[in-house]
Protein backbone atom coordinates (compact mmCIF):
# COMPACT_ATOMS: atom_id res chain seq x y z
CA UNK A 1 0.00 0.00 0.00
CA UNK A 2 1.26 3.48 -0.85
CA UNK A 3 0.92 6.44 1.49
CA UNK A 4 0.54 10.11 0.65
CA UNK A 5 0.77 12.86 3.25
CA UNK A 6 0.67 15.77 0.80
CA UNK A 7 -1.83 16.83 -1.83
CA UNK A 8 0.84 16.69 -4.53
CA UNK A 9 1.69 13.06 -3.70
CA UNK A 10 -1.98 12.13 -3.71
CA UNK A 11 -2.67 13.78 -7.05
CA UNK A 12 0.41 12.29 -8.70
CA UNK A 13 -0.60 8.77 -7.76
CA UNK A 14 -4.24 9.17 -8.78
CA UNK A 15 -3.21 10.82 -12.07
CA UNK A 16 -1.08 7.77 -12.87
CA UNK A 17 -4.09 5.51 -12.28
CA UNK A 18 -6.23 7.73 -14.46
CA UNK A 19 -3.79 7.51 -17.34
CA UNK A 20 -4.08 3.74 -17.09
CA UNK A 21 -7.89 4.00 -17.31
CA UNK A 22 -8.50 2.67 -13.80
CA UNK A 23 -11.67 3.25 -11.77
CA UNK A 24 -10.96 4.92 -8.42
CA UNK A 25 -12.89 4.60 -5.17
CA UNK A 26 -12.61 6.81 -2.06
CA UNK A 27 -13.31 5.82 1.55
CA UNK A 28 -13.14 8.93 3.79
CA UNK A 29 -12.53 8.21 7.49
CA UNK A 30 -11.38 9.92 10.67
CA UNK A 31 -9.22 6.95 11.59
CA UNK A 32 -9.27 4.61 14.60
CA UNK A 33 -10.52 2.07 12.10
CA UNK A 34 -12.68 -0.96 12.86
CA UNK A 35 -14.62 -3.60 10.94
CA UNK A 36 -17.21 -1.04 9.87
CA UNK A 37 -14.57 1.01 8.07
CA UNK A 38 -13.01 -2.08 6.55
CA UNK A 39 -16.39 -3.09 5.12
CA UNK A 40 -16.29 0.16 3.14
CA UNK A 41 -12.86 -0.74 1.76
CA UNK A 42 -14.12 -4.20 0.82
CA UNK A 43 -17.12 -2.70 -0.95
CA UNK A 44 -14.84 -0.28 -2.79
CA UNK A 45 -12.64 -3.15 -3.97
CA UNK A 46 -15.70 -4.79 -5.52
CA UNK A 47 -16.60 -1.83 -7.70
CA UNK A 48 -13.25 -0.12 -8.31
CA UNK A 49 -9.76 -0.92 -9.59
CA UNK A 50 -7.98 1.23 -7.01
CA UNK A 51 -9.03 2.31 -3.51
CA UNK A 52 -7.98 5.45 -1.64
CA UNK A 53 -8.73 5.69 2.08
CA UNK A 54 -8.28 9.01 3.85
CA UNK A 55 -7.55 9.34 7.56
CA UNK A 56 -8.16 12.87 8.80
CA UNK A 57 -9.67 14.00 12.10
CA UNK A 58 -11.53 17.03 10.80
CA UNK A 59 -11.57 19.90 13.32
CA UNK A 60 -14.36 21.84 11.60
CA UNK A 61 -17.03 19.22 12.33
CA UNK A 62 -16.47 19.22 16.10
CA UNK A 63 -18.28 21.68 18.35
CA UNK A 64 -16.47 23.63 21.10
CA UNK A 65 -17.51 21.16 23.83
CA UNK A 66 -17.03 17.97 21.80
CA UNK A 67 -14.25 15.40 21.78
CA UNK A 68 -11.85 16.66 19.09
CA UNK A 69 -8.83 16.73 21.41
CA UNK A 70 -9.39 13.20 22.75
CA UNK A 71 -10.72 11.59 19.58
CA UNK A 72 -8.61 8.43 19.19
CA UNK A 73 -5.74 8.76 16.72
CA UNK A 74 -4.19 5.42 15.74
CA UNK A 75 -2.59 6.07 12.36
CA UNK A 76 0.00 3.27 12.45
CA UNK A 77 -2.61 0.65 13.32
CA UNK A 78 -4.96 2.15 10.73
CA UNK A 79 -2.30 1.88 8.03
CA UNK A 80 -1.63 -1.75 8.92
CA UNK A 81 -5.33 -2.57 8.84
CA UNK A 82 -5.92 -0.83 5.50
CA UNK A 83 -2.99 -2.64 3.92
CA UNK A 84 -4.46 -5.93 5.09
CA UNK A 85 -7.80 -5.06 3.50
CA UNK A 86 -6.29 -4.34 0.08
CA UNK A 87 -6.34 -0.55 0.17
CA UNK A 88 -4.04 0.89 -2.50
CA UNK A 89 -3.36 4.36 -1.10
CA UNK A 90 -3.62 5.91 2.36
CA UNK A 91 -4.04 9.69 2.31
CA UNK A 92 -3.15 11.02 5.76
CA UNK A 93 -2.89 14.81 5.49
CA UNK A 94 -2.01 17.31 8.19
CA UNK A 95 -4.51 20.03 9.02
CA UNK A 96 -2.41 22.50 7.00
CA UNK A 97 -2.79 20.38 3.87
CA UNK A 98 -6.58 20.30 4.16
CA UNK A 99 -7.02 23.90 5.33
CA UNK A 100 -4.19 26.04 3.86
CA UNK A 101 -5.50 29.20 5.54
CA UNK A 102 -6.45 27.46 8.79
CA UNK A 103 -9.73 25.80 9.80
CA UNK A 104 -11.17 29.06 11.08
CA UNK A 105 -10.63 30.84 7.76
CA UNK A 106 -11.67 27.97 5.50
CA UNK A 107 -14.27 28.39 2.77
CA UNK A 108 -17.34 26.58 4.05
CA UNK A 109 -20.02 24.57 2.29
CA UNK A 110 -23.54 24.50 3.69
CA UNK A 111 -26.16 21.99 2.57
CA UNK A 112 -29.67 23.30 3.19
CA UNK A 113 -32.77 21.38 4.20
CA UNK A 114 -31.65 17.97 5.34
CA UNK A 115 -29.08 19.29 7.86
CA UNK A 116 -31.25 21.47 10.10
CA UNK A 117 -32.99 18.72 12.05
CA UNK A 118 -31.87 15.93 14.41
CA UNK A 119 -28.03 15.97 14.48
CA UNK A 120 -28.02 19.45 12.99
CA UNK A 121 -30.17 20.77 15.82
CA UNK A 122 -27.99 19.22 18.54
CA UNK A 123 -24.62 19.87 16.85
CA UNK A 124 -24.74 23.35 15.27
CA UNK A 125 -22.16 23.73 12.51
CA UNK A 126 -21.41 20.01 12.37
CA UNK A 127 -22.72 19.38 8.88
CA UNK A 128 -21.04 22.48 7.46
CA UNK A 129 -17.77 20.97 8.65
CA UNK A 130 -18.67 17.56 7.20
CA UNK A 131 -19.74 18.98 3.83
CA UNK A 132 -16.64 21.18 3.63
CA UNK A 133 -14.13 18.41 4.28
CA UNK A 134 -15.92 15.85 2.11
CA UNK A 135 -16.13 18.26 -0.82
CA UNK A 136 -12.43 19.00 -0.46
CA UNK A 137 -11.58 15.29 -0.39
CA UNK A 138 -13.77 14.65 -3.42
CA UNK A 139 -12.05 17.48 -5.26
CA UNK A 140 -8.55 16.29 -4.33
CA UNK A 141 -9.10 12.63 -5.19
CA UNK A 142 -11.76 13.06 -7.90
CA UNK A 143 -12.94 9.47 -7.45
CA UNK A 144 -15.49 7.67 -9.56
CA UNK A 145 -17.11 6.29 -6.40
CA UNK A 146 -17.14 7.39 -2.75
CA UNK A 147 -18.38 5.07 -0.03
CA UNK A 148 -20.07 5.92 3.28
CA UNK A 149 -21.68 3.87 6.05
CA UNK A 150 -25.39 3.97 6.83
CA UNK A 151 -24.78 4.39 10.57
CA UNK A 152 -24.29 8.13 10.03
CA UNK A 153 -27.51 8.29 8.05
CA UNK A 154 -28.06 12.04 8.10
CA UNK A 155 -24.47 12.54 7.00
CA UNK A 156 -25.08 10.13 4.12
CA UNK A 157 -28.14 12.12 2.97
CA UNK A 158 -26.18 15.36 3.28
CA UNK A 159 -23.37 14.07 1.06
CA UNK A 160 -25.81 12.68 -1.51
CA UNK A 161 -27.50 16.08 -1.72
CA UNK A 162 -24.14 17.87 -1.92
CA UNK A 163 -23.00 15.73 -4.85
CA UNK A 164 -26.32 16.05 -6.68
CA UNK A 165 -26.70 19.77 -6.10
CA UNK A 166 -23.16 20.57 -7.29
CA UNK A 167 -23.37 18.17 -10.23
CA UNK A 168 -20.30 16.18 -9.22
CA UNK A 169 -19.66 13.14 -11.47
CA UNK A 170 -19.28 10.82 -8.49
CA UNK A 171 -21.40 7.86 -7.43
CA UNK A 172 -22.15 7.72 -3.70
CA UNK A 173 -22.42 4.15 -2.43
CA UNK A 174 -23.85 3.44 1.03
CA UNK A 175 -22.76 0.37 2.96
CA UNK A 176 -24.78 -1.36 5.72
CA UNK A 177 -23.95 -0.73 9.36
CA UNK A 178 -21.62 -3.32 10.86
CA UNK A 179 -22.69 -4.41 14.34
CA UNK A 180 -21.18 -6.19 17.27
CA UNK A 181 -22.75 -9.49 18.34
CA UNK A 182 -24.95 -7.57 20.80
CA UNK A 183 -26.35 -5.38 18.02
CA UNK A 184 -24.35 -2.31 19.03
CA UNK A 185 -23.36 -0.35 15.93
CA UNK A 186 -19.59 -0.28 15.55
CA UNK A 187 -18.12 3.15 16.20
CA UNK A 188 -14.73 4.58 17.08
CA UNK A 189 -16.39 6.17 20.11
CA UNK A 190 -17.44 2.78 21.51
CA UNK A 191 -14.00 2.52 23.12
CA UNK A 192 -15.04 5.31 25.49
CA UNK A 193 -17.55 2.86 27.01
CA UNK A 194 -16.80 0.72 30.03
CA UNK A 195 -17.63 -2.98 29.96
CA UNK A 196 -21.02 -2.52 31.64
CA UNK A 197 -21.83 0.49 29.48
CA UNK A 198 -20.96 -1.44 26.33
CA UNK A 199 -23.51 -4.11 27.22
CA UNK A 200 -26.07 -1.45 28.11
CA UNK A 201 -25.46 0.43 24.86
CA UNK A 202 -26.87 -2.49 22.87
CA UNK A 203 -30.31 -1.38 24.12
CA UNK A 204 -30.28 1.34 21.45
CA UNK A 205 -30.49 -1.21 18.64
CA UNK A 206 -33.05 -3.28 20.57
CA UNK A 207 -35.13 -0.13 20.97
CA UNK A 208 -34.93 0.58 17.24
CA UNK A 209 -36.16 -2.94 16.55
CA UNK A 210 -39.12 -2.40 18.88
CA UNK A 211 -39.84 0.91 17.15
CA UNK A 212 -39.90 -0.81 13.77
CA UNK A 213 -42.25 -3.51 15.06
CA UNK A 214 -44.57 -0.86 16.49
CA UNK A 215 -44.79 1.08 13.23
CA UNK A 216 -45.33 -2.10 11.21
CA UNK A 217 -48.13 -3.07 13.61
CA UNK A 218 -49.82 0.29 12.99
CA UNK A 219 -49.00 2.13 16.21
CA UNK A 220 -48.99 5.94 15.91
CA UNK A 221 -45.55 7.45 15.35
CA UNK A 222 -45.83 9.72 18.39
CA UNK A 223 -46.62 6.78 20.65
CA UNK A 224 -43.71 4.75 19.29
CA UNK A 225 -41.29 7.65 19.79
CA UNK A 226 -42.58 8.34 23.30
CA UNK A 227 -42.35 4.71 24.41
CA UNK A 228 -38.81 4.41 23.07
CA UNK A 229 -37.72 7.58 24.85
CA UNK A 230 -39.21 6.43 28.16
CA UNK A 231 -37.53 3.02 27.84
CA UNK A 232 -34.09 4.48 27.12
CA UNK A 233 -34.31 7.03 29.92
CA UNK A 234 -35.39 4.29 32.34
CA UNK A 235 -32.27 2.35 31.31
CA UNK A 236 -30.01 5.29 32.19
CA UNK A 237 -29.60 7.04 28.82
CA UNK A 238 -29.88 10.77 28.30
CA UNK A 239 -31.84 11.02 25.09
CA UNK A 240 -31.12 13.74 22.53
CA UNK A 241 -33.76 12.49 20.13
CA UNK A 242 -35.85 9.49 19.17
CA UNK A 243 -37.50 9.96 15.78
CA UNK A 244 -39.34 8.18 13.00
CA UNK A 245 -38.82 10.09 9.77
CA UNK A 246 -39.19 9.72 6.02
CA UNK A 247 -36.03 8.00 4.86
CA UNK A 248 -35.51 10.05 1.72
CA UNK A 249 -35.37 13.51 3.31
CA UNK A 250 -35.90 13.12 7.10
CA UNK A 251 -39.20 15.00 6.93
CA UNK A 252 -41.73 14.05 9.63
CA UNK A 253 -43.50 10.79 8.97
CA UNK A 254 -46.93 11.13 7.37
CA UNK A 255 -49.74 9.76 9.54
CA UNK A 256 -50.66 6.23 8.50
CA UNK A 257 -47.61 5.74 6.30
CA UNK A 258 -45.51 2.68 7.09
CA UNK A 259 -43.26 2.42 4.04
CA UNK A 260 -40.04 4.30 3.36
CA UNK A 261 -39.44 5.31 6.97
CA UNK A 262 -36.41 5.20 9.22
CA UNK A 263 -36.03 5.19 12.98
CA UNK A 264 -33.19 7.26 14.42
CA UNK A 265 -31.79 7.58 17.94
CA UNK A 266 -29.12 9.74 19.54
CA UNK A 267 -28.51 9.18 23.23
CA UNK A 268 -25.75 9.64 25.78
CA UNK A 269 -24.49 6.93 28.09
CA UNK A 270 -22.11 8.33 30.65
CA UNK A 271 -19.86 10.70 28.70
CA UNK A 272 -20.35 8.91 25.37
CA UNK A 273 -22.80 10.02 22.71
CA UNK A 274 -24.14 7.21 20.53
CA UNK A 275 -26.21 7.31 17.34
CA UNK A 276 -27.93 4.55 15.37
CA UNK A 277 -30.78 4.04 12.92
CA UNK A 278 -32.88 1.31 11.39
CA UNK A 279 -34.93 1.24 8.19
CA UNK A 280 -38.66 0.69 8.59
CA UNK A 281 -40.70 -0.84 5.79
CA UNK A 282 -44.24 -1.87 6.59
What is the pLDDT confidence band of residue 271, given thresholds at 50, 70 and 90?
Answer: very high
Q: Is there a domain that residue 99 lies in?
A: yes
Q: Which of 14, 25, 29, 37 is the catalytic position?
A: 37
The Cα 96–Cα 98 span in angstroms is 5
The strand pairing partners of 238, in sequence order, are: 268
Do 214 and 129 lie in a common domain? Answer: no
Q: In what order do the strands lie in the sheet with 261-269?
A: 238-246, 261-269, 272-280
Do 39 and 65 lie in a common domain? Answer: yes
Do 137 and 168 lie in a common domain? Answer: yes
Residue 242: predicted pLDDT: 98
Do 83 and 161 lie in a common domain? Answer: yes
**Phi and psi dihedrals of 229, rounded to 5?**
-65, -45
Q: Is there a domain that residue 180 lies in?
A: no
Do 148 and 16 lie in a common domain? Answer: yes
Whether 37 is a known active-site residue: answer yes
The per-residue pLDDT of the chain, averaged, comes to 96
Domain end call among 125, 145, 175: 175
Q: Is there a domain that residue 182 lies in?
A: no
Task: Classify burial at 23, counting beta carbons within 10 Å of its beta carbon; exposed 0-12, middle 13-18, buried 19 or more.
Answer: middle
Task: Classify burial at 104, counting beta carbons within 10 Å of its beta carbon; exposed 0-12, middle 13-18, buried 19 or more.
Answer: exposed
Do 62 and 13 lie in a common domain? Answer: yes
> What does each C-alpha distance from 158 to 22, 153, 250 come to in angstroms?
28, 9, 11
Q: For the chain, what is the domain count?
A: 2
> What does each C-alpha distance from 153 to 62, 93, 266 come to in angstroms?
17, 26, 12
Domain end call among 135, 151, 175: 175
Residue 135: give the domain boundaries.
Answer: 2-175
What pTM did the predictor assign?
Answer: 0.95
In tens, the pLDDT along 139-194 reads 999 999 999 999 999 999 999 999 999 999 999 999 999 999 999 999 999 999 99
In tens, the pLDDT along 8-46 reads 999 999 999 999 999 999 999 999 999 999 999 999 999
CATH number, residue 116? 3.40.50.620
Domain end call among 139, 154, 175: 175
CATH number, residue 239? 3.30.1300.10
Amino acid sequence: MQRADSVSELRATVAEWRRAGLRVGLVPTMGNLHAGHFSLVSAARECCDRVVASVFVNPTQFGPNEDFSRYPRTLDADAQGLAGQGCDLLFAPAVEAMYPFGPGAATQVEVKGVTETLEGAFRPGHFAGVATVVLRLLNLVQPDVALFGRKDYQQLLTIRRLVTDLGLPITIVDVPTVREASGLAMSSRNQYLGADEREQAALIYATLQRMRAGIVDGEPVEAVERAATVALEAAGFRVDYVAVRQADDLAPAVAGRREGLIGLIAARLGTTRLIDNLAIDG
